[in-house]
Structure formats: structure tokens, C-alpha cells
Amino acid sequence: MKEHYLHHTNYLYTPGGMQRMIQLHLEGGKDRAISFRDAAPHQPESSSDALCAELSTSVRRIRERYRNAVDSLKPAVSVYHNCWGVELVHDLDPAPCRVGFLHSDFPGFPGMLQHFAAYFDAFVNINPGLHQKSMELLPDWPKERFMLLDSPVELPAVVPEAGEGPSVIGIIGRIKREQKRLDRLPAFLTACDQLLDKYEVHVLGSGDFEDELRRRLKGRTNVRFLGWLEGRAYWEAIRRWRYLLFMSDYEGTPLSLIEGAHAGLCAVYPDFHPGAPLPAGLTTENLYPPGNVTAAAHLIARLEKAGSAMPSPLKTKELAGIHDPQYYLSRFHELLNPDQLAALPALPDARIRAGKSFPGWAPLSLYHMRTKRLRFGWRGIIRHS
């Protein structure tokens, strides 16, 4: 069987923008996906294989399972999402070309990218700032081997109209301390109390920090936890908001940022890449210094006084077109066409395929720790465990 693309990921059946993107690729029936750590595919007839790796599973056993999974496959291109797993199986990968798909920024992104450069023919980014950063970090690579795609997002043709009421500041996503930094919310609220006359904060999502956050905010009547919402309930909830707040330490291009812009929300977003191109839906007026939630509160206060401008219908229509899932797939196939990849300018010093394999005797937990060290540094291993 000849597959077009073989996707590799840590998890496939967990909530997240990257997982939704991979599943979009599988809907066409020609691509396949391999998830290293899922227990089993949720749909036996789906085009995916789960290697069922636990932290105690040896790399040797994972490689055996991978070899069996790809035995009859002949993909034209292998895609490793956030580069996960390439050190484990690159020499068993049947595809003639490998691409690293970079979904997110990390504190250790420079070292991570330079480490994984030895394993790939090209890199894809979904964030213009990261795209520029990647080219700067690998200056001897031909720029043609770095590609930029806009994330696919299902956007409704009609968004419910907003109702009357106080200004609502919304937060979407996993309620976590790591990366998403919801532990900063109490300080943000304290700053808003001094700057805004009347406001509410709605938190849409869930996560392992939720119970602690609720405890810290006990007695606050202007904070609501909405849980996870989907479909029309999701759009009805966010359309009541005026602002969409991010307090993260790092991001790629969150799908919620695009959805918020489509709903007419004004994003309040950390300036992760000063001076770099911005994703659709952001301007420099939306940015504040990362980690400084007091500055975020002051930004909202200024926007309140000025009257935050909502996108025009044309802007919203353009946004929906750029992020249309079918348009994304057509651009993906255009940029990652096997013949086009084969014709790209040569890599420097014949470094391609020079990456080393991870020791077979090692348990997955060591690889997991190695991956965290590359992304977050030594201090981040404990913090992100």
C-alpha cells in the first residue's frame, strides 16, 4: 500500500490542536499515523497504529513494534510532529524523506532545533515568528527547506451575536501551571481590580491546576469556570467575551487565538518574538511583555478607554479562508510534495541522516527525560515532570 505521508506523534487521542491537525490528515484515508504512547487507537478501522509504549518500555521493544507497524508501508514522506520519536526509529523509517513539524516554541528551542537538524530534510512551522527564528538558528541551511503553514481551524460561517453586559476577559485551554501559567491569574485579577470598573473573567477548559486555582480564587464572584465546551456551546460562550487573554510562557500559534479573532475578540498576548512577523489576528497593539500580567491588565484598561476595535466582516472572512482545513491540506501537499522536496537545494556538509539512534537497552523514561531537557533545559525536567 502506498501512503502519501506517515505521521509520527507522542499521543494522537488526547485533546490538543496538534492532535486535531493530525486527525485531519487521516480523514482522507491515504495518510497513516503512528502514536508512540497511546494505549490503542480509539477506532480500529482508522489509519493509525499505537505502539502502546509506557515509560518502562525499552527502546528495543518500541523499535520492534514500530518495525511491525511499518512493515507493509511505503510512505513518500514521514512527518514527525514536534520531532517526537525520530531518535528512536529514524533508521527503521521506510520513507525516503523526513520532515520535522514544529508546532510550539519551547525555552530550549534553539538547542532542540540544532540537535534535530541532523535527522530531517526540512522543517515546517505554523507560527511566523518561529519560522523566522528557525531560519536564523540554522543559517547554513537553504531557506527553501523551511516552510510556513497556517493552522487549520474549523470556523463557523455565522458566530452568535454578543449580548450586553460587563467586559468579559476570556481564557481558553488547559488549566495548568506549566506553560499555560494559570498560576498568574490571581495577580492579574488584583491588577484589574485597580484599573477596571466592572469586569468578569471566564475560564474555558480544565486541567490539573484547576482545583488549586479555584481554591486561590475562592470568594471571587467575577470569575467563572466553564469547563470544556464544543460546537455551538463553545462559540456562544466566547462570543460574549470582549478580550482573549494568554499568560503562557511560550506558544506556537494557539488555535484558540484564531478562533477568538474569528469571533471578534481582542487578543491580549505575550510578545514572544519581538519584532518578528505576527500570526493573523494579532497586531503590536495586542502585545505585552511575557510574564508581566500587570502590563496585560494595563493593556486591557487602555483598550477599554479607547474602545477596542473589532475585526471587519472582510477581515473575518479572510481569516476563515486562510485557516480553512481544505486550504491547509492543499498547501501542505503543495509544499511537501515528494518531488519538490527532492529538488530542494542540498543540505550543508551532507549532515542529513547523520543523527544517532537512542540506545536500545534504555527505557522510554530516559528518552522522555532527554526530550524534556532539550525543550526546557535541566531545570525544566523537574518542573515539567
Q: Which of 265, 285, 320 is the last residue of a domain?
A: 320
Q: Which of 268, 300, 320 is the last residue of a domain?
A: 320
Contacts of residue 379, Cβ cutoff 8 Å, sequence gap at least 6:
none
Give percent of the chain above pLDDT 90.
53
Q: Which residue has the higher pLDDT, 253 or 307?
A: 253
Beta sheet of 77-81, edge-to-edge order: 48-50, 32-35, 5-9, 77-81, 98-102, 122-125, 146-148
Residue 311 burial class via C-beta count within 10 angstroms: exposed 0-12, middle 13-18, buried 19 and up: middle
Q: Are residues 182 and 275 in the same domain?
A: yes
- Whether residue 210 is contained in a domain is answered as yes
pLDDT tens for residues 348-365? Answer: 765 545 557 788 889 999
Q: Are residues 134 and 174 in the same domain?
A: no
- Whether residue 82 is contained in a domain is answered as yes
Q: Which residue has the higher pLDDT, 148 or 353?
A: 148
Q: What is the pLDDT of residue 159?
A: 60
What three-state secondary structure class fits 172?
strand
Q: Are residues 283 and 358 in the same domain?
A: no
Q: What is the pLDDT of residue 57?
A: 95
Across-strand partners of 170?
A: 202, 244
Write down the pTM of the prediction.
0.81
Q: Using alpha carbons only, give the angle 142, 147, 151 rounded to the nearest 5 degrees.
A: 165
Q: Are residues 21 and 145 in the same domain?
A: yes
- Whether residue 160 is contained in a domain is answered as no
- Whether residue 316 is contained in a domain is answered as yes
pLDDT tens for residues 248-294? Answer: 988 888 888 888 888 888 899 999 888 878 777 678 888 999 999 99
Q: Are residues 185 and 295 in the same domain?
A: yes
Residue from 265, 300, 307, 308 nearest 195 by CA: 300
- Whether residue 56 is contained in a domain is answered as yes
For residue 328, give the C-alpha cell: 491547509
- Whether residue 161 is contained in a domain is answered as no
Residue 85 burial class via C-beta count within 10 angstroms: exposed 0-12, middle 13-18, buried 19 and up: buried
The residue segments making up the domain with residue 56 are 5-152+325-383
Tell me phi and psi for residue 203, to 5 degrees: -110, 115
Q: Are residues 312 and 202 in the same domain?
A: yes
Kindly report the number of other CB atoms within 10 A of residue 184's CB atom: 19
- Per-residue DSSP letter, 286: G
Q: What is the pLDDT of residue 324?
A: 87
Domains in the chain, number: 2
* CB 111, CB 233: distance < 8 Å: no
Q: Are residues 287 and 238 in the same domain?
A: yes
Q: Are residues 307 and 347 in the same domain?
A: no
CATH number at residue 122: 3.40.50.2000
Sign of the Cα torsion 42, 43, 48, 51 reads: positive
Q: Tell me the residue length of the chain.
A: 385
Q: Are residues 179 and 288 in the same domain?
A: yes
Q: Are residues 178 and 64 in the same domain?
A: no
Q: Are residues 252 and 267 in the same domain?
A: yes
Q: Which of 293, 320, 347 is the last residue of a domain?
A: 320
pLDDT tens for residues 321-338? Answer: 788 889 999 999 999 999
Q: Are residues 172 and 316 in the same domain?
A: yes
DSSP string, 44-79: TTSSEEE----TTSBHHHHHHHHHHHHTT---SEEE
Residue from 299, 298, 305, 265 nearest 284 by CA: 299
- Whether residue 45 is contained in a domain is answered as yes
Residue 311 pLDDT exceeds 60: no
